[in-house]
C-alpha cells in the first residue's frame, strides 16, 4: 500500500531544502515527502496525485511566493483534496495574512520561520495534524475495482466470475457510491460504458469479457504444450481432485475450466459436512485450496472452454473456444452440472437483476435489511439461506412439499429452525416475477392462494442438469444427459453394444477407452462434495491402468 504524501512548497531553495530535510528526518517512515519550488509546480503535482488517486495528508506552503501565494495554493488544495491538512509557512510580517487565512481559507495552522529547533516548533504541530488526518483517512482499496449498476446482469456476471477465483475486488455501485463517479472520471469513460473494471495498474476496460479479465489477473489462456498424459475438463471438486492426484503421481496434467474453480459446490456459502473441517468452509475457499494444491504439485491450469472432443489414432484431441487444439493420452470429464432455470413469466428479463442462480455469496451484501426469497429445498438452498440470513431482514424458503426433511441434511434443518428471520413456505411455488429494470415482486401460489409479495432478490436452487451437451455425440449419455460409465456399458441392453474392447470398461470409463467421467455429470453419481472428490481421485487410478495397457 502506498504511503500518504506530505508536500512541502517554497520558492527559496535553502528554505525548501531545510524543510524537506526536517520532514524526512521525522516522518519518512510513515509518509512520502514530496517538494515543489513554486505554487504552479505544486498545483501540477497535486493534480497528478489526484489523477492517480494517491492519498495526500498535508501540504506545507510558504506564503510569499511569486505568481501564486501560499494562501491561494492552499485554497486550491482544498478543492482537490478537501481532507488534507493545510499549513502556511510565514515570516513574522505575514502573521495577519495567516490569521485571515485561518478564517477565510479554512487553514489548519500557520508556522513561523525559522522553526528551529524542529523538535519544539515544528514536529509537535505536524504530528497533531497528521494524527487528526489519520483518524478520518480510509486507505484506497489496493486491487481490482468494478464500477457498475447493481441491477446490471453483466455487472453480476463479472462479480460472480471474480468471486469464483477469489480475486479481491471492490464493488462500486455507480448510482449510490460517489467514489464510483470520481473513479470513472479518471478513466476517461462515461456511465454509458459501464460496467468498467479498473485494474490495479490503473488501466480500465469497459464491459470486458472473461478472457480479458483472466489475462489481466494472470490466468493462462494458452496451453504450454501440445501433448499431455491427462487432461481434466472441469474444475469442480472432482476435477480438482483428479488434477491433484494426477500431478502428484507424475502425470503431465492439464485442467481446463471455462468459468471458475469449484463448480456448483464453489457457490456454496458454507459446507459443514466435509471431512476434516469441523467448523465448515465456503465452497470458494475449498476450491481455491485445491486449485493452489494442484498447481503447486505441477498441474497446469487453463482458463478456457473445451468445445469439441474427438479421437485420432488413440489420442484424444480437444478443441478450445479460441480454435486451438490440444492432444492428450487420456481425458477425465468432470464437467459438473448447471442450475436448472425457473420457468415462470418475467424470469428471463430479471435474471442477473434480482433473480440469481447460486450466487448467494456474491449478492448477499446487496440484500441488507431486505426481504429475499429462495426457491428449493436442497442443501445448496439451505446453505444460501443461512448465509443470507446474516444480511437480509427476512429469508423465505419456498418449497413444494411439506417440509425440508426429504431433501436437506439434518444439520442444516436444525440451523434453519434456530434462525428467527428464516421462514419456510411449504406447499408453495413462485408462479411469476415482476419488475421493470430489477426484481420488485414475486407472485406465489401459497397452498392454493395467489399472493403478491414485495421482494428484492430471488435465489433459485431447483436442481441441476449435466453440462455435457458438447460431448454427448462422442461418448454415451443417458436420456437426461448424464455420462454413462463402467458396467452400465456392458450389462444394460440399451448400451451394451457401445463397448468394443475385450476387457470390461473400468469403473469410471466411458464408452470411449481412455475417456473417464467423475462427479455430478456421471450417471449414478452421488451429489456430495466428498463423493465427487473421491471419484476424481479414483479416476486417476484408472487413467494409470489405461496408460499401462
CATH of the domain at 190: 3.40.30.10
- Model confidence over 200-226: pLDDT tens digits? 888 899 999 888 898 888 889 999 999
Domain boundary among 412, 440, 462: 462
Domain boundary among 194, 216, 238: 216
Decide if pLDDT at 104 tops 80: no
Residue 221 lies in a domain: no
Task: List the single range of 4-8, 179-183, 443-447, 535-539 with lowest mean pLDDT.
Answer: 179-183
Helix (H, G, I), strand (E, B) or coil at 170: strand
Residues 6 or more apart whose CB falls under 8 angstroms from that of 512 comprise: 311, 474, 475
Selected residue with higher pLDDT from 339 and 309: 309
Whether the predicted pLDDT of 442 surpasses 80: yes
Which helix (H) or strand (E) segment holds residue 242: the answer is helix 237-248
Check whether residue 356 and residue 376 sit in a common domain.
yes
Q: Does pLDDT of 73 surpass 70?
A: yes
Q: What percent of the chain has pLDDT over 90?
A: 68
Distance CA 401, CA 377 (A): 9
Q: Determine the Cα angle at 263 with ends 258 and 269, to 5°.
A: 135
In a domain, 407, yes or no: yes
Same domain? For 62 and 124 the reply is yes
pLDDT band at 259, cuts 50/70/90? confident
Range name among 85-89, 392-396, 504-508 with the lowest pLDDT average? 85-89
Per-residue model confidence (pLDDT) at position 547: 96
pLDDT range class, residue 267, cuts 50, 70, 90: confident
Whether 440 and 510 map to the same domain: the answer is: no
166 within a domain of the structure (yes/no): yes
CATH number (domain holding residue 118): 3.40.50.2300
Which pLDDT value is given to residue 308?
Answer: 95
Do the Cβ atoms of 439 and 433 come closer than 8 Å? yes
Give 95 or 472, the one with higher predicted confidence.
Answer: 472
Name the packing angle between helices 237-248 and 529-547 (round to 10°).
40
Cβ atoms within 10 Å, residue 54 = 15
Same-domain status, 471 and 438: no
How many folded domains does the chain comprise? 4
Same domain, 295 and 247: yes
For the domain that residue 395 is a member of, what is the CATH number? 3.50.50.60
Q: Which among 414, 411, 445 is positioned nearest to 431, based on CA atoms?
A: 445
- Is 233 part of any domain? yes
Residues 172 and 80 reside in one and the same domain: no
Mark whether 449 and 385 lie in a shared domain.
Answer: yes
What per-residue confidence (pLDDT) applies to 493?
75
| HSE-up (13 A, CA, CB side) for residue 334 | 38
Q: Which of 97, 119, 136 is the last residue of a domain?
A: 136
Residue 478 has pLDDT above 60, yes or no: yes
Contact assessment for residue 198 and residue 221, using Cβ atoms and an 8 Å cutoff:
no
Q: Among candidates 476, 464, 467, which has minimal Cα distance to 256?
A: 467
Domain range for 367 is: 347-462
d(CA 71, CA 198): 35
pLDDT at 496 over 70: no
DSSP 193: G
In a domain, 222, yes or no: no
pLDDT in tens, 18-66: 999 999 999 999 999 999 999 999 999 999 998 887 899 999 999 888 8
pLDDT at 278: 85
Tens-digit pLDDT profile for residues 122-154: 999 999 999 989 988 887 777 899 999 999 999
Residues 333, 478 within the same domain: yes
In a domain, 475, yes or no: yes
Average pLDDT over residues 161-181: 89
Model pLDDT, residue 102 = 66
For 268-272, what is the mean pLDDT?
82
Cα separation values, 241 from 223, 244, 529, Å: 20, 5, 11
The alpha-carbon radius of gyration of the chain (Å, integer) is: 31
From residue 235, alpha-carbon distances to 38, 140, 165, 302, 520 in Å are 58, 33, 11, 10, 12
What percent of the chain stands above pLDDT 70?
97
Domain shared by 46 and 191, yes or no: no
Q: Which residues contact 249 (CB under 8 A, 6 or more apart)?
A: 540, 544
* Burial environment of residue 532 by CB neighbours within 10 A (0 to 12, 13 to 18, 19 or more): buried
The verdict on 457 and 473 lying in the same domain is no
Q: Is 489 in the same domain as 398?
A: no
Residues 334 and 355 in one domain: no
Amino acid at each position: 500500500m502506498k504511503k500518504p504524501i506530505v508536500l512541502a512548497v517554497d520558492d527559496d531553495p535553502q528554505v525548501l531544502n531545510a524543510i524537506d530535510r526536517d520532514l524526512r528526518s521525522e516522518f519518512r517512515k510513515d509518509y512520502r515527502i514530496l517538494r515543489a519550488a513554486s505554487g504552479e509546480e505544486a498545483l501540477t503535482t497535486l493534480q497528478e496525485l489526484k489523477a492517480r488517486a494517491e492519498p495526500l495528508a498535508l501540504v506545507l506552503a510558504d506564503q510569499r511566493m511569486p505568481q501564486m501565494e501560499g494562501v491561494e495554493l492552499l485554497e486550491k488544495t482544498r478543492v482537490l483534496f478537501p481532507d488534507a491538512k493545510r499549513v502556511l509557512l510565514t515570516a513574522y510580517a505575514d502573521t495577519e495574512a495567516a490569521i485571515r487565512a485561518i478564517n477565510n481559507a479554512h487553514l489548519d495552522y500557520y508556522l513561523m520561520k525559522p522553526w528551529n529547533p524542529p523538535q519544539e516548533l515544528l514536529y509537535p504541530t505536524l504530528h497533531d495534524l497528521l494524527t487528526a488526518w489519520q483518524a478520518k483517512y480510509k486507505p484506497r482499496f489496493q486491487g481490482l475495482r468494478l464500477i457498475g449498476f447493481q441491477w446490471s446482469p453483466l455487472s453480476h456476471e463479472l462479480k460472480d466470475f471474480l468471486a469464483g477465483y477469489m480475486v479481491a475486488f471492490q464493488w462500486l455501485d455507480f448510482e449510490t457510491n460517489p467514489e464510483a463517479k470520481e473513479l470513472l472520471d479518471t478513466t476517461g469513460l462515461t456511465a454509458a460504458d459501464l460496467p468498467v473494471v479498473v485494474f490495479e495498474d490503473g488501466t480500465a476496460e469497459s464491459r470486458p469479457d472473461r478472457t480479458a479479465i483472466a489475462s489481466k489477473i494472470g490466468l493462462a489462456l494458452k496451453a504450454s504444450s501440445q501433448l499431455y498424459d491427462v487432461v481434466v475438463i472441469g474444475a469442480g471438486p472432482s476435477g480438482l481432485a483428479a488434477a491433484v492426484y494426477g500431478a502428484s503421481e507424475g502425470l503431465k496434467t492439464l485442467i481446463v475450466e471455462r468459468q471458475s474453480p469449484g463448480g456448483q459446490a464453489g457457490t456454496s456459502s458454507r459446507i459443514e459436512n466435509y471431512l476434516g473441517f469441523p467448523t465448515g468452509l465456503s465452497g470458494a475457499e475449498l476450491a481455491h485450496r485445491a486449485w493452489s494444491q494442484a498447481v503447486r504439485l505441477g498441474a497446469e491450469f487453463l482458463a478456457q472452454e473445451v468445445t469439441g472432443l474427438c479421437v485420432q489414432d488413440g489420442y484424444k484431441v480437444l478443441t478450445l473456444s479460441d480454435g486451438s487444439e490440444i492432444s492428450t493420452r487420456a481425458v477425465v470429464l468432470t464437467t459438473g452440472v448447471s442450475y436448472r432455470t425457473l420457468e415462470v413469466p418475467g424470469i428471463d428479463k430479471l435474471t442477473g437483476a434480482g433473480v440469481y442462480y447460486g450466487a448467494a455469496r456474491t449478492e448477499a451484501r446487496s440484500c441488507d435489511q431486505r426481504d429475499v426469497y429462495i426457491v428449493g429445498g436442497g442443501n445448496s438452498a439451505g446453505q444460501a439461506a443461512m448465509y443470507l440470513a446474516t444480511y437480509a431482514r427476512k429469508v423465505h424458503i419456498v418449497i413444494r412439499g411439506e417440509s425440508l426433511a426429504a431433501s436437506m441434511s439434518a444439520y442444516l434443518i436444525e440451523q434453519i429452525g434456530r434462525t428467527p428471520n428464516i421462514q419456510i413456505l411449504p406447499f408453495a411455488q413462485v408462479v411469476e416475477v415482476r419488475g421493470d429494470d430489477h426484481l420488485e415482486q414475486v407472485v406465489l401460489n401459497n397452498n392454493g392462494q395467489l399472493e403478491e409479495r414485495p421482494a428484492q432478490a430471488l435465489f433459485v436452487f431447483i436442481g441441476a442438469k449435466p453440462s455435457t451437451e458438447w460431448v454427448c455425440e462422442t461418448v454415451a449419455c443417458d436420456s437426461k444427459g448424464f455420462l454413462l460409465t463402467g458396467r452400465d456399458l456392458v450389462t444394460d441392453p440399451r448400451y451394451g453394444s457401445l463397448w468394443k474392447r475385450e476387457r470390461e470398461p473400468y469403473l469410471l470409463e466411458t464408452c470411449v477407452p481412455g475417456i473417464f467421467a467423475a462427479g455430478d455429470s456421471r450417471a449414478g453419481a452421488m451429489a456430495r462434495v466428498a463423493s465427487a472428490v473421491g471419484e476424481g481421485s479414483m479416476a486417476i487410478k484408472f487413467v494409470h491402468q489405461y496408460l499401462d495397457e
